[in-house]
Amino acid sequence: MRCAVLIALGVAVVSARNRRLTSLGSIFFEGMYTEKPQEVASTVESSSSRYGVDKSFPMHHPARSGIEKNNLYNEFIDGCREFYAPDGHLCDITEEERIEMNLNQPAGMVNYTEVGFAKIRAPDDLVEVLTRFWTTNYRSPKNIPIETWARGSTYTNHWSAPTKMLQMEALRGGGEALRTKVWDISKDILESWTGVELSPSSLYGVRVYTEGAVLAPHVDRNPLVISAIVNVAQDVDEDWPLEVIAHDGNAHNLTLEPGEMILYESHSVIHGRPFPLRGRYYANVFIHFEPLGHGLKKEQTHAKVDLSILYQQAWEKQQSKCSQDNDDDCKLQIDLNMEEVKIPPYILPGSEEGKRWLQAHSHATLTKNTNERAKKVTDKLDANFAASAGDLELLKQIVKADPKSLHRVDKNGWSPLTEAARSGHQDVIEWLLQEGANINQRTHKGNGGSPLWWAKKFRGSKHKIVAYMEEHGALEIPPKGHTRIKP
Ligand SMILES: *[C@@H]1O[C@H](CO)[C@@H](O)[C@H](O)[C@H]1NC(C)=O
Ligand SMILES: *[C@@H]1O[C@H](CO)[C@@H](O)[C@H](O)[C@H]1NC(C)=O
C-alpha cells in the first residue's frame, strides 16, 4: 500500500516552518535532563515482560497463533465490519495499511533517541493552560462532540466506544492563543529531548476516550514524527496504559496520571492502547512535530548523533548493498536521492520509505540540467520515478534512451502508466498511451489492481484522471480479494 491519508478527520495540520526557535533557557528545561534519564530508566524497569510485537494485539501480522485466539481482536474487527456494512471490507483495507506501516515504516526512519520514548511530568504552565481549558469546557462526556473517523477506520473501536473531541478553536479559553502556548512549551521539551529543531505539524484538541475504548497499535503517518501525549483528565477504575514498542523491540506499558506527559517518536515507535478502557473517560491531548533537519548546538544535544552522519551512513550502507547486487540503477537512484532530491530529514535516503515518499510527492522533482551528472545518468533513471513525479520531459528522455523502459515494471509490478495514474498526471498518461503503453496492465504479477483502480483509490472516483482514463478504454479491475472503489 502506498497510501497517505490522515488517520482521523478533523486533524488540524498547520505549516509553521518559519516559526522562531524559542529560547531553551526556561526552568523546566533545566529540570529535564536531571529528570529524564531516571524517568526513562524507571519506566523500562517497571515493565513486566520483554515481549515485542503481536502479543497484545496484531501489529506486524493480521492474525497469528495466540492472536487468532484473541477474542478481543475478533470482536474488534467484526464490530468494524458490522458497523460499516455493506462496506465492511474498508475495515480490512485499513487494517492492511495499519499493519503494513507498522511492519515497514520504522525501518526507513531516522531515530532520534535511544529507546524512542520518555515519560516526564508536564511543566506546570502547560498543565495549567490545559486544565483551565478542560474545566472551562467539560461538563460531562455527553456534552462533547463525537469525533469523526474515516469510514472503515480501525484505529479506534469508535463503533462501540465513540471518541469525543474538544476542539481548541471552537471553545472558550481555546483558539490560537492556547494552541501557540501548548506548542511553544512542548516544542522546547521535545527539542531538548531529540536534539533537533522541530516545526509543529498537528495539534488535535483534547480527545476523550470512553468506556471500553481501544486504540489499535500503529505508527503515525509522516509528518507526525516527534510527538507528546499529555493526560489532561481521567475518571478510570484502573490505569489505562499506552503500550509502546520501543526501538529495542520490547513492549512497554506507560501509564499517565493527569499532568504527566509521554514523549515518543510516533513515526517509528508502534503505540496503542490495546487493553479496553475501564472507567468513564480518559482525556488526553496529542502534540505532533516534524524535524526541520539540522541538529541543535552540540552542547545542547548531549553528543547526539549528527544527522548528516546518519544520512551518510545510511547512504553508504545502501551504496554497498547496490554494489554487492551489482545494480547500477540502484546506485544512481540513491545518488540522486541524496543530491538532487530533497526528502524529509527523518526518512532514511535509499530506504523503501524514502522511495515511497518520493512517489507520493510529485513536487519532489529533479533539479534538471544544472548538474553534469544528472544529465549523464538521465538514460539510467527510472521511468516510474519520472512518471510518478509527472516529469514528462524527463520521462521522454528516459524512454528515448531506453525504449523498453516504457513497459518495464518494478518489483511490485508497477508500470510507468500505473504510477502516472496513481499520481493523476493526465499529460503523462496521454503520452504513454500514444507510445503504446497498456492501459489495463495489472500490478503484482497480474493479480493486483488495474491502473484505473489505483487511480480511483488514490485520487478518488471523481478525479478528472478517472474520466479521462475511462474514455480511453480503462477498466477498473480490483486486486485479488479487493472490491471496486465506491463512486
Ligand atoms: C501491559 O498491561 C496489560 C494490561 O494490564 C498487560 O496484560 C500486559 O502484559 C502489560 N505489558 C507489559 C509489557 O507489561
Ligand atoms: C529505528 O527504530 C526502529 C524501531 O523503532 C527500527 O526498526 C529501525 O531499524 C531503527 N532505525 C535505525 C536507522 O536504526
275 CA closest ligand 1 atom index: 4
State pTM to two decimals: 0.62
Ligand 2 mean position, distance from CA 320 (Å): 19
246 CA closest ligand 2 atom index: 5
Is there a domain that residue 283 lies in? yes
251 lines ligand 1 (CB under 6 A): yes
Tell which residue, 137, 187, 123, 194, has the closest CA to residue 166: 137
48 lines ligand 1 (CB under 6 A): yes
Tell which residue, 20, 91, 6, has the closest CA to residue 286: 6
Least confident of 257-261, 364-368, 429-433, 476-480: 364-368
Is there a domain that residue 90 lies in? yes
Residue 2's pLDDT is 30
Is there a domain that residue 247 lies in? yes
Residue 452's pLDDT is 96
Q: What is the DSSP letter of 241?
A: P
* Cα–Cα distance, 391 to 383 (Å, whole number): 10
Confidence of residue 228 (pLDDT cuts 50, 70, 90): very high
Is there a domain that residue 464 lies in? no
Ligand 2 mean position, distance from CA 115 (Å): 10
Is there a domain that residue 144 lies in? yes
**DSSP sequence for 9-42:** TT--B---TTPPPPPS-SHHHHHHHHHHHHHHHH
- The residue among 195 and 475 whose pLDDT is bigger is 475
For residue 193, is pLDDT > 70? yes
Is there a domain that residue 390 lies in? no
Residue 177's pLDDT is 87
For residue 472, is pLDDT > 70? yes
- The residue among 409 and 431 whose pLDDT is bigger is 431
* CATH number of the domain within which 73 lies: 2.60.120.620
Residue 237's pLDDT is 96
If you average pLDDT over residues 279-302, what whole number do you get?
A: 70
Residue 223: give the domain boundaries: 12-295
Q: How many structural domains are present in the chain?
A: 1
For residue 212, is pLDDT > 90? yes
- Helix or strand run (H / E) with residue 393: helix 392-401
186 lines ligand 2 (CB under 6 A): no
Cβ atoms within 10 Å, residue 231? 22
C-alpha cell, 434: 500514444
Q: Is the peptide bond before 86 cis (omega within 30 degrees of 0)?
A: yes
Is there a domain that residue 438 lies in? no
* Residue from 43, 46, 56, 278 to probe ligand 1 pocket by mutation (most atoms less than 8 Å from CB): 56
* Residue from 42, 46, 253 to probe ligand 1 pocket by mutation (most atoms less than 8 Å from CB): 253
Confidence of residue 334 (pLDDT cuts 50, 70, 90): low
**DSSP sequence for 313-362:** HHHHHHHHHHHHTT-HHHHHHHHHHHHTS---TTB-TTSHHHHHHHHH-T
Q: Is 94 within 8 Å of 149 (Cβ atoms)?
A: no
Is there a domain that residue 171 lies in? yes
Ligand 2 mean position, distance from CA 108 (Å): 7
